[in-house]
Amino acid sequence: MMNAFEVGLTRYLKNEQLEKIQHIHVGIAGAGGLGSNSAIMLVRTGFKKITVVDFDEVDSSNLNRQNYFMDQVGESKVSALANTLRKINPAIELQIVNAKITKDNIAEIFFSCDIIIEALDTPAGKTLIVEELAGNKQLVVAVSGLAGFGNSDRIKTHKINEHFYIVGDLVSGIDALPPLAPGVTIAAAKQVDLVVEYVLK
């Protein structure tokens, strides 16, 4: 049985499209600016099977771009995000993993995912996700270069191969430029749009 949220979705998506979306399992590596925003967009688009992984807690310095609120500061990011996602659609099959992703646990965490959203902060974390997962049949959508402001059309989608895409301008890192809501949200939105296209095409 569909809940009211899902009935609402059927105004915009055909039943067979919604069915496709609901069968896909998306893994989100990181629940920061990219991860929190992409998770919310995925749930709003109808995705139900979602795994979110992060070891961190919400900090007041996250609130400029990450989808958390003042009353969640100090809470674990995955648990705070789970609450928000369930407010949008209580029927999601959400798995939260409060852990740091390493070489040793990555395969097990993302084993059953069809699609991986790379949403980590550091270059080392990003390369770990791509090296370990982009060689499989899973779709990997990573991000490189979202910091700063201005000329937001620089944040582009780069297709590396059938199963591996990178969103970003490839140069604007947080070592030199601030991560701000517009750039981060644009990158997250492009990641999710790629996922939607991949599933519905």
Contacting positions for another protein (CB under 8 A): 30, 32-35, 118-127, 130-132, 134-135, 142-147, 160-161, 164, 166, 168, 170-175, 179, 184
Closer residue to another protein in complex, CB, 187/196? 187
Alpha-carbon radius of gyration of the chain: 16
Minimum Å gap between C-beta 125 and another protein is: 8
Which residue, 11 or 137, is less far from another protein as judged by CB?
A: 137
Q: Report the SS3 class of residue 141.
A: strand
Number of helices and strands (H, E) in the chain?
Answer: 7, 7
Contacts of 88 (CB under 8 A, 6+ apart): 5, 40, 43, 44
Rounded least distance, CB 137 to another protein, Å:
13
Quote the least distance from Cβ 143 to another protein, whole Å: 7
Cβ closest to another protein, residue 18 vs residue 29: 29
Closest to another protein by CB, 43 or 155: 155
Query: Which residue from 98, 37, 46 is spatially nearest to 68, judged by alpha carbons?
Result: 37
